[in-house]
A and B are shown apart, each in its own frame.
Chain A
Amino acid sequence: MSATIIETVDITKIYGMGDISVAALNGINLKIEAGEFVAIMGPSGSGKSTLMHILGCLSQPSSGQYILDGEDVSHLDKAQLAAVRNRKIGFIFQAYNLLARTSALRNVTLPLLYNHVDAKLSVEDGDQKARAMLELVGLGERVNHQPHELSGGQQQRVAIARALINDPVMVIADEPTGNLDSRSGEEIMNLLHKLHGQGTTIVMVTHDPKIATHTQRTIVLKDGVIDTINHNGQHHPAAEVQHEAA
């Protein structure tokens, strides 16, 4: 049907050395197609964040192969990984991770600073695109607000706008609703559904089974290996949005 975005072959991640080494990941084989919305679950310490870091090119696997969007990124150096993150990946963190004392607009344009591919994009065009993204996440009125002037949910929406600014091939979200109350969390989930409906590939870590059921697939990790993969029925993304909004 569509292109494979993520393909991992026997990925391991081993922290430390010798006797005290910890195998956080112990052979992960995973395939995620374009346009999928996948949840990753599992008990604390099962390796969810570790996997997300590797999938997000923030760190390298100890062994195994990772093919992202048709490109083997397993052996890239720091600078090359940074370029891949910039071009292909949008991050949403539990702790928002916005730059303090910096306006929503400047937070959203941050990835453009490091975009060496679209260097032709002028500052004006970049700002216009960032405004459009903030509009999309419902913050068109808060362009010049700084993080401390925004609620948690609003900050997370700025982070989502930032994740989308470089047209990534996928969005990686590590417990995006973890710091939010249920109402704000639901708003964020609606937004993610909306993005999914527009074709964005999303991989999301969550602890909340209820939230996980809203995705297409749930991958459950246990002790660094994939325990089970659940297909959560055939939700139509658009119907999902209506369901959530109701």
Chain B
Amino acid sequence: MKPLEAIRIAWEAILKNKVRSLLTMLGIIIGVAAVIIMVAISAGTEATIQDQITSLGSNLVFVQGAMTRGGPGQAPTGGLVYDDAAAIQDGVSGVKAVVVEQNSSETVKAGDVTLEDVEILGTTTGFPSVRDMDISEGRYFTEQEIERKTKVAILGYDVAQELFGDASPVGEYIKVGNTQIAIIGVFKEKGLVGNTDFDSRIYMPISVVFQKFTPSMFARFMGDSVRMIYVEVEDGVNQDTVIAGIERLLVKRHDVTTDTEDFTITTQQDIISTRESTTAAFRSLLAWVAGVSLIVGGIGIMNIMLVSVTERTREIGIRQAVGATPADIRLQFLTEALMLSVVGGLIGTLVGISGAYIFGALSDMRTVIQASSILLAFGSAAAVGAFFGYYPANQAAQLDPIEALRYE
């Protein structure tokens, strides 16, 4: 029998039992759709992480203060201070730029608009380049303004919108806490990176934050304490060498040992790999779900094919009588099983693509449809059809023509 004939016969057999065929295909449809949707979700997550890597600025090392409580009779020591940043800049080789951040939270007023609990971020001049932020209007503050503790601010995109709407805020004054601040610039929209909303903050010289907005007397006593120092490593310099250099320097400056360090150093790579291992776990779970679904679909196909072989015993006998060889019969039923799984695979692909699209549109997760996942899902569906279709097809091929013809 020619393969084309086998396909035609299989197609007719499937059409003769539309509802049953559709139900049989359901497992395959779900399996294939699951593979495509899930791969789309995990690819979307990866793309989001990739974007974050880019928006964090490349080649960054994070030095974070870890508050340690001193022993009895000792004053608590508190992480990083502003001078550490300068020391890192001057004392560690391979450092391109250092940025310091100290934050606070204040009530902000502009005219008759009042915003509660706005994050105030005190930072240094390297911030826009290290964190990859662009000014859309006005300018960023200068080194001189930090030294002179000039009361100026750059607004995040959302804060500017909320305080001034579409009017230009540059040259206006706002009241942060009790302090009058001049606005000299606005950042372009940046969005959410990780958990940080760059657009709903107000950026100021770090010296102003130390002087005016340091949270408590205690913290003030601690000196110019900073939350975080960002170190940008020079291109082509090994990050680990720089990290070791920073560690050596800070251990000496803080008078601690490597066991009692009051700071932690992390790299972007650390953050990324944590996220990636989560995604990988998620992905392997999904792969299992999809795999099980495909196998269940395959068993469904096998079940229906066995029923079909029994129901059509007489037909098989007739075909054998007029000259169908066992190979012809096997081909016919194998083609039918394959066609069920391939058509199921096609429907599943359509469901999967539209499902991934709808999921991406309705949830805040991103989905990226991967061509490779479609091929993989489709290929596995066909393989499942061939695998689970073989046994029933072989049963059919081995029927005795006389018995088959006698079957009622």
Contacts and interface: CB of A to CB of B under 8 A. Distances in A.
Q: A and B from one assembly?
A: yes
A85 B314 contact: no
Interface string B301-324: 000000000000011011111111
A113 B1 CA distance: 5
Contacts of A44: none
Q: How large is the interface on A (under 10, 10 to 19, 20 to 34, 35 or more residues)?
A: 20 to 34
A119 B255 CA distance: 93
B402 A59 contact: yes
B158 to A, nearest CB: 68
Given A85-B323, A86-B323, A98-B318, 20 more contacts: A58-B402, A59-B402, A79-B325, A79-B326, A82-B320, A82-B328, A85-B321, A86-B322, A97-B314, A97-B318, A99-B318, A110-B322, A113-B2, A113-B324, A113-B328, A114-B319, A114-B322, A115-B323, A119-B2, A162-B322
A115 B319 CA distance: 12
B327 interface: yes
21 contacts: A53-B402, A58-B321, A58-B401, A58-B402, A58-B405, A59-B401, A79-B326, A82-B328, A85-B320, A85-B322, A86-B322, A91-B322, A97-B314, A97-B317, A97-B318, A110-B318, A110-B322, A111-B322, A114-B322, A115-B323, A119-B2
A11 B301 CA distance: 44
Contacts of A31: none
A93 B320 CA distance: 14
Contact of A83 (B317, B318, B325, B400): B325
Nearest to B329: A82
A78 B323 CA distance: 10
Interface of A: 53, 56, 58-59, 78-79, 82-83, 85-87, 91, 93, 97-101, 110-111, 113-115, 119, 162, 166
B16 interface: yes
Contacts of B402: 53, 58-59
A98 B328 CA distance: 18
Contacts of B322: 85-86, 91, 110-111, 114, 162
A93 B404 CA distance: 13
A115 B400 CA distance: 20
A113 B317 contact: no
Contact of B1 (A79, A114, A166): A114
Contacts of B318: 97-99, 110
Contact of A114 (B315, B324, B405): B324
A113 B325 contact: no
A91 B325 contact: no
Contacts of B1: 113-114
B325 A78 contact: yes
A83 B327 contact: no
A59 B403 CA distance: 10
Nearest to B400: A59
A111 B323 contact: yes
A44 to B, nearest CB: 16
The 5 closest A-B pairs by CB, nearest first: A86-B323, A114-B323, A111-B322, A79-B325, A82-B325
B405 A97 contact: yes
Contacts of A86: 322-323
Contacts of B166: none
Nearest to A119: B2
Contacts of A78: 325-326
A54 B321 CA distance: 12
Contacts of A99: 315, 318
Interface string B1-41: 11001000000000010000000000000000000000000
A76 B327 CA distance: 15
A72 to B, nearest CB: 19
Interface string B70-108: 000000000000000000000000000000000000000
A82 B324 contact: yes
Interface in B351-403: 400-402
Contacts of A110: 318-319, 322
A104 B57 CA distance: 76
Contacts of A162: 322
B323 A87 contact: yes
Contacts of A79: 325-327
Interface in B245-271: none
Nearest to A100: B315
A97 B321 contact: yes
A97 B321 CA distance: 10
Contacts of A87: 323
A127 B325 CA distance: 22
Contacts of B405: 58, 93, 97
Contacts of B315: 99-100
A164 B335 CA distance: 29
Contacts of A83: 323, 325
A59 B320 CA distance: 11
B321 A91 contact: yes
A222 B214 CA distance: 117
Nearest to B323: A86
Interface in B328-353: 328
Could you say which of B16, B315, B322 has the most chain A C-beta atoms within 10 Å of its C-beta? B322
A152 B1 CA distance: 30
A162 B321 CA distance: 11
Contact of B328 (A53, A114, A166): A114
Contacts of A82: 320, 323-326, 328
